[in-house]
Structure 1
Amino acid sequence: MEDPVLVSFQTFDRQAAKLLASEAAPADVTEDRRRVEKFLFRTGRPVPNVLVLGDDLAARARQIDELGGAAVGVADGENVIALANQRYPGGHFLRGDPRQPLVDSGAFDGVWAGTLLWRIPRYSAPAALAGAHKALRPGGLLYVHLRLGDEEGFRQTAEGAVYNVRWNEQRFCEALGVLDFDRIDRDEIADDPVEVGLTFRREY
């Protein structure tokens, strides 16, 4: 059986290839800026080093840098990285599997995983975030954006299949407890479907 996460990453890379060929100007988003600012403040560092995983790589890295942090973005796919560099030429981006980012252990004050967990099968969530745990210093923060519900499975797009997962919030928090992550903050992002932003601290 193919890895559903890699199938999704391959689809995103094909989507990025189309955008590379068509974009005339850098794209940007402003949503989540307040949450990004709060996240950086909570790290307690004057210039927090933040690892960015998942969607909206360029926009999120730009926000973090503009708000006083230092972002490193990781995504799988040559075209995804090329698109991030096109959208944010000043950014620092690395190609690799976001589940196992090739970065130094304990090098980051925060990991912004964003919507990455929308693509991760429920059974593999702890393993998928083990790399984020390793990248964080003790006391470092992890941010995830979850959709709540029961859905899990592929949906088809013009460029291929994308895996979609909705979560039970309590079970997700229990799963991360195995990695010594303790939830310290919760924001409601949307109502239909219900979406939440959760911040965790790495205890050890």
Structure 2
Amino acid sequence: MIDIMPISLLDEEQEAEWFYSGTISSYDRCAASYAAQNDSISEVEDLLTFFDKEIPCGASLLDVGCGHGRDAEYLSSLGHTVHGIDRSEKLLRMARERGPKSHFVEGDIRSLPFRDRSFDGLWMNAVLHHLIPPHMLRALTECHRVLKPSGLLFVSVHLDDSSGWQTRGQDFVRYYARVSGAMLAEFLRDARLTPVRMTSRSAESRWLHCFARAHAG
């Protein structure tokens, strides 16, 4: 297990909820511009293609932190049954309009509102880094719970050397936690998820992409 120095559990939880409410509000405020800037799947198409090859035909999938539904729409077009979950009401509204055949719900990735072993695959793109480290493990443990044995998880995180608020204009004010490849790999193992492929790429920022399989049992 990774040793995380708690300030006090109560203070940490309260501070985390403040981070999360601010980040959700930011996504709600810039939902239209965010959707427009991230409309193309070109930056993740190779990852989606690999994901599709590694899951059954007509798989049951959950897009964890689905945003405006871009990735869910693509996976649905491949013949999969897709659910999506997010905490931004405005982005969820766009997702429902974009993917009427899919099922989108508002909810917290630390406590997924789905039964055990519900999905063949989970897609979690650019979400986990918005959580404080203890909650990352909690979310990944939930991912394991709702995955079928040997089900596939994709998770991507923004690699950064420091944690805190990032600001790009008045409406973009979001909390990002510090994440490293070693940290993510250990969290996955603690959540009974086995990394099977981990890659990084650089553009304006560095990203880590990981595929992991759920342990049976």
Which bin holds the TM-score, normalised by the shorter protein?
0.7 to 0.9
**Partner-residue secondary structure (3-state), 2:115:** coil
> Does 2:179 match 1:167?
yes
Instruction: Find the partner of 2:87 among 76, 82, 87.
Output: 76
The verdict on how the C-alpha distance between 1:95 and 1:166 changes in structure 2, with shifts beyond 3 A counting, is same
> Does 2:142 match 1:131?
yes
Partner amino acid, structure 2, of 1:11 = S
- Contact 1:37 / 1:67 at 8 angstroms: preserved in 2? no
In structure 2, what is the Cα distance between the partners aligned to 1:171 and 1:41? 27
Deviates more, 1:87-96 or 1:143-152: 87-96
- Contact 1:40 / 1:69 at 8 angstroms: preserved in 2? no
- Contact 1:53 / 1:98 at 8 angstroms: preserved in 2? yes
- Contact 1:182 / 1:201 at 8 angstroms: preserved in 2? yes
- Contact 2:110 / 2:135 at 8 angstroms: preserved in 1? no
Instruction: Find the partner of 2:121 among 101, 110, 128.
Output: 110
Aligned to 2:5: none
1:13-52 mapped onto 2 (5 Å cutoff): 13-16=28-31, 19=32, 28-31=39-42, 32-43=44-55, 45-52=56-63
In structure 2, what is the Cα distance between the partners aligned to 1:99 and 1:124? 7
Instruction: Find the partner of 2:202 among 182, 190, 196.
Output: 190
In structure 1, what is the Cα distance between the partners aligned to 2:98 and 2:58? 23
> Is there any run of 5+ residues in structure 2 with no aligned partner, and where?
1-13
**Partner-residue secondary structure (3-state), 1:109:** strand
TM-score (norm 2): 0.81
Give the percent of matched residue pairs that are identical in Structure 1 and Structure 2. Answer: 22
> Is there any run of 5+ residues in structure 1 with no aligned partner, and where?
none
The verdict on how the C-alpha distance between 1:149 and 1:77 changes in structure 2, with shifts beyond 3 A counting, is closer
RMSD: 2.3
- Contact 1:126 / 1:179 at 8 angstroms: preserved in 2? yes
**Partner-residue secondary structure (3-state), 2:69:** helix
The verdict on how the C-alpha distance between 1:107 and 1:169 changes in structure 2, with shifts beyond 3 A counting, is same
**Partner-residue secondary structure (3-state), 1:13:** helix
**1:83-123 deviation per Cα after TM superposition (whole angstroms, max 9, x unaligned):** 21233333321111122221121010111111111211223
